[in-house]
Amino acid sequence: MNSKLNKYYFGYIFVAPFFISFAVFGLVPILYTLYLSFTNWDAFNDPAYTGFGNYTRLLHDIAFYQSIGNTLIIWIFSIVPQLIIAITLAIILNEKFIRGKHFFRAIYYFPNIITPVTLGVLFSLIFDWQTGSINKLLTTIGLVEDPINWFNNPWWSRLIVAAVICWQNFGFNMIVFIAGLQSIPDEVYEASQVDGANGWQKTWYVTIPLLRPVFIFTLITSVIGGLQLFDSPYMIGNGPNNTTRTMIMYLYETAFKNFNFGYGAAIAYGVFVIVMCFTAVTVWLTRRREQ
């Protein structure tokens, strides 16, 4: 039986397009970037081999470390409220007695379909210190006397960038959580009710633990996505003293503004290592808790 099955290679044929396209459009650029990271290349002349020069520079590059710090701060400020809002809304909108829940699900998901560039521009206009509507509102209601120069303050700048990302993504995570909630069997809730659990206890002791796989999924995707932040913060700007410049923004500026593709490639690999480490830590932590 086995030997007969082994004669057929249809499976390889059917999966071949993916592997070939991945090799052409994924693997080749990845390997080419690796090659470039060992060169000094301004795109106008041929790449010149520099060995580990770019990586040595990267290890001593304060601006790169600053961009890592900025990315992590923005990511934490966006991911924590994002998950709290998403799970809270998912639990509320999963209740049978809530009317118009489909409407609210669509409304909360809506920011996710707006391009990050648009959101970046929108928030930079809203928070403009001279003409932005937030300052107009605050001064009109008398909460502040003079307009706040939001983008001249590192922490306000980072918080605004984090708010953009939070606002854009909480709807998506909410949908994922709702899908997770709907996969929890009713019998579990019925059993907990028989045991005398109230609504709060059902959420805390049944819903949250059974949603752990969904949490892990959202956490890992958020780590990967969050550490590659680019478009929204790019539209908002680098912040005072580059305090909102993320790792990918730094890569973009190095490669595509300063035309230093060799060092840009080294930054790309640096970012890859950092994302890999954080993802591994996240997986390790979640597995450890499961054990």
Partner 1 sequence: MKTTTVWRTSIAILLIAAMLVGCGGKDKQSTASQPARNASGELEGNLVVWTFFDQVEDMAAQFMKENPKVKVEVKTFPGDDYQTKLLTALQSGQNVPDVFDLERSYIGKFIDSKYLSDLSAMGAEDLVANYVPYVQALGRASDNTIRAVSDHSSPGGFWYIRENAQKYLGTDDPDQISDMVNSWDKIIALGQKVEQQSQGQVHLISNSGDLFDIEAYNTEPWVKDGKLNIDPKWEQYYTIQQQINDNNVDAKLSFMSAGWGNALNDGSVVLTTMPAWASFMIDNDNGAAKGKYGVARTPEGYYNGGTYRGIYRESPNQELAYEFIKYIAGEKWQQHNLEATGNMPGNAKVYEKNLNTFTSEITGDQKVMKVYYDVVKDLPALQPDKYSEEILSTWRKVAKEGITNHTDYAAVLANFTKQVQNAFPEIQAP
CA angle (266, 268, 274) in 5-degree steps: 105
43 makes contact with partner 1 (CB under 8 A): yes
CA distance to 113, 152, 188, per residue, from 66 (Å): 31, 17, 48
152 makes contact with partner 1 (CB under 8 A): yes
24 makes contact with partner 1 (CB under 8 A): yes
Exactly one of 44, 51, 113, 143 binds partner 1 (CB under 8 A); that residue is 44
183 makes contact with partner 1 (CB under 8 A): no
| Nearest approach, Cβ of residue 82 and partner 1 (Å) | 29
Exactly one of 56, 115, 131, 198 binds partner 1 (CB under 8 A); that residue is 131
Q: Which long-range contacts (CB under 8 A, 24 or more apart) does 269-272 make?
A: 269/33, 269/34, 269/37, 269/55, 270/55, 270/58, 270/64, 271/227, 271/228, 271/247
63 makes contact with partner 1 (CB under 8 A): yes
Which amino acid belongs to residue 281? V
Residue number, 81 or 237, with CB nearest to partner 1: 237
149 makes contact with partner 1 (CB under 8 A): yes
27 makes contact with partner 1 (CB under 8 A): no
Exactly one of 2, 130, 182, 291 binds partner 1 (CB under 8 A); that residue is 130
Tokens linked to 36 = 């470039």
37 makes contact with partner 1 (CB under 8 A): no
Residue number, 15 or 281, with CB nearest to partner 1: 15
Q: What are the residues binding partner 1 (CB under 8 A)?
A: 9-10, 13, 16-17, 20-21, 24, 43-45, 57, 61-63, 125, 128, 130-131, 149, 152, 238, 240-242, 253-254, 256-259
